[in-house]
Amino acid sequence: MTDPAPLLRVEDVYAGYINDLDILQGVNFKIYPGELVVVIGPNGAGKSTLAKTIFGLLTPRRGTIVFDGKNIVGLKSNQIVQRGMCYVPQIANVFPSLTVDENLEMGAFVRSGSLKELKDRIYALFPRLVERRKQRAGTLSGGERQQLAMGRALMLQPKLLILDEPSAALSPQLVNSVFELIKRINSEGISIILVEQNARKALAMADRGYVLETGRDRFEGSGPDLLNDPKVGELYLGAGRGH
Tell me the CA distances in angstroms from 170 to 138, 144, 178, one per residue in order. Answer: 16, 10, 9
Going by pLDDT thresholds of 50, 70 and 90, the confidence category of residue 2 is: low
Q: Between these two residues, 184 and 107, which has the higher pLDDT value? A: 184
3-class SS of residue 238? coil
The answer regarding whether domain 8-93+160-236 maps to CATH 3.40.50.300 reads yes
Express as a percent the part of the chain with pLDDT over 90.
72
pLDDT at 242 over 60: no
Does position 223 have pLDDT exceeding 90, yes or no?
yes
pLDDT in tens, 136-185: 999 998 889 999 999 999 998 899 999 999 988 788 888 888 899 999 99
18-38 tens-digit pLDDT: 888 899 999 999 999 999 999
* 202/180 Cα distance (integer angstroms): 11
Residue 110's pLDDT is: 65
At position 229, the amino acid (one-letter code) is D
Give the whole-angstrom CA distance, residue 123 versus residue 120: 5
pLDDT of residue 241: 39
